Chain A
C-alpha cells in the first residue's frame, strides 16, 4: 500500500536559517506529491505540489522536487522566518488508486523558528 514517511520533529531553527524537512514515499503507481502546512488553530493549507518526476513545486520561498529515483520530496527553504512556525505534512495521491481517491499523509513535522 501507499505510505509517507517524514522526519520527526520538532525542528527548531533560528530565523534566517536553512530548512530541510525530509519526506520519502512508497506508492504502487505514479503519485502526485504535496506539502501541506497547518498554522496553530487552523486547518491544513496546500503549500505546494508536484505531479510528475523531476517537477519542482514552489510557493512562499519553499521548494520541493519530485525525485522518483529516491522516492523523495524533501521540503526546503533558504531562509526561514518566525511566521513559518507551523506543522508541515507531506502527502501523496495515487491516481492509480481511483477507488479510494484519498490523500495519504505523513505524520507531520513541527517547525519552530526562534527570533
Chain B
C-alpha cells in the first residue's frame, strides 16, 4: 500500500510564475490536508479538503493560493504569481476520516518550492 505521494519533490520557479503541487493520498483515504513549513518554523495548517469539497481553508492566504481535491486524481495546491516569500516546504497529509484528534495522519515527503 503506497504511502502519500507528493510531486514534484523539488520545484523551482521564477517570480510571477505559477506553481502546482500534487498530492495523491493513501489508498482509501478521502481526507487531505496541506501544511506549509517555512525555514526554521513549524508546519502551519493551510487547508483541509474532502473529495470535491473544501472543508476548512482558514490557513490559506487570501490571494494567489487555491486548492482542490477532485473526484478523480490528486489534490492540487496552486500558487499563482509566486513571490520569494512562498519558498517553503509544502506537506500533504491524508487520513481515512476527518477530525485529527484521534485519527492517524499519514504525511508525504513534501515538495520544496524555491522561488528565484
Interface residues of A (CB under 8 A from B): 4, 6, 31-32, 36, 41-46, 51, 89, 93-95, 98-108
B1 contacts A by Cβ under 8 Å: no
Contacts of B4 in A (CB 8 A): 43
Contacts of B98 in A (CB 8 A): 101
Give me 14 A-to-B residue pairs in the complex whose CB atoms sit less than 8 angstroms apart, sorted by A's number. Answer: A36-B107, A43-B4, A43-B107, A43-B109, A44-B43, A44-B93, A45-B107, A46-B104, A51-B101, A98-B99, A101-B55, A102-B59, A102-B100, A105-B44
CA A106 to CA B45, docked complex, whole Å: 12
Interchain Cβ contacts within 8 Å, total number: 69
B25 contacts A by Cβ under 8 Å: no
Structural contact, A43 and B42, CB atoms closer than 8 A: no
Interface residues of B (CB under 8 A from A): 3-4, 6, 33, 35, 40-45, 48, 55-56, 58-59, 91, 93, 98-102, 104-110
Contacts of B58 in A (CB 8 A): 99-100
Structural contact, A102 and B56, CB atoms closer than 8 A: yes
Structural contact, B43 and A89, CB atoms closer than 8 A: yes
Structural contact, B105 and A32, CB atoms closer than 8 A: no
